[in-house]
Amino acid sequence: MTKINFISTRHKKNGKCNADNLCNLLEIQRPEVIFLEALETTYSQYDSTKFSSFRVYHHKLEIEALQKLSAHFSFEYVPVLDNELTNLFDKKYDSIPENNELKAMLFEFSNLESIEGFEFLNSAKGMALHSKMRDFENSLLLGEEFLKTYDVKLEEYENSMIQNIYSYCKLNSFKKGVFMCGSAHRESLIKKFEFFESKENLGIKWEVFGG
């Protein structure tokens, strides 16, 4: 049976959320395949050469962790993004008006992330705070037409990552994998795993780090 452990991450260092701690976590998991929320072009041949020749680490936290992990054992790196959501995210957050309550929630999340690290990002507490912030953000943007487009694009974005994982699994055999994705997608993705497995029926067992 193929098992894939889902781990929520962040893309830039913040306290205990850093490449060394993520590397240690992955070293315990020892996956054969690591799926990452990243484009094929995110880790280019030039980036790879800079690392192998000069030990220049990548700016993306997860890829820096993978570079460090490569010193301990071999694994297959598989980026699973088709497109980025950068412009859509920017439009949403540029449209949110100044709000002290939202700032306080963002500060709380960042502080807990820094102090508790990936354990927080992969906890029920972290997921609940993400949900609370998302609902509050949407209440501040009530009536904005682009929110409909945002929700549709976000759905497509998440579905394509899981579909790309299943496409890989249809062509490649392995026992243990890891899927790393930003913590903002945690709640939504967890709900999608069972649906995709029932549709694809490949016998993949999804495990969620942190419960």
As a whole number, mean pLDDT of residues 79-105 equals: 90
pLDDT of 61 higher than 80:
yes
Place of tokens 């690290």: 117
pLDDT-derived band of residue 68, with 50, 70 and 90 as boundaries?
Answer: very high
pLDDT at 91: 85
Q: Measured between alpha carbons, how far is 141 from 82 in angstroms, rounded to an integer?
A: 28
**Which H, E and C letters describe the chain, residue by residue?**
CEEEEEEEECCCCECCECHHHHHHHHHHHCCCEEEECCCCCCCCHHHHHHHHHHCCCCCCHHHHHHHHHCCCCCCEEEECCCCCCHHHHHHHHHHCCCCHHHHHHHHHHHHHHHHHCHHHHCCHHHHHHHHHHHHHHHHHCCCCCHHHHHHHHHHHHHHHHHHHHHHHHHHCCCCEEEEEEEHHHHHHHHHHHHHHHHHHCCCEEEEECCC
pLDDT at 24: 98
**Percent with pLDDT over 70 in the chain:** 100
pLDDT of 20 higher than 90:
yes
pLDDT at 166: 98
pLDDT of 87 higher than 90:
no
CA-based R_g, the chain, Å: 18
For the chain, the average pLDDT equals 96
Q: Measured between alpha carbons, how far is 79 from 195 in angstroms, rounded to an integer?
A: 22
pLDDT of 86 higher than 80:
no
Strand 2-9 and strand 204-208: pairing?
parallel
Strand 176-182 and strand 204-208: pairing?
unpaired
| Residues 171, 78 contacting (CB under 8 angstroms) | no
Over residues 149-198, the pLDDT tens digits come to 888 999 999 999 999 999 999 999 999 999 999 999 999 999 999 999 99
pLDDT of 44 higher than 90:
yes
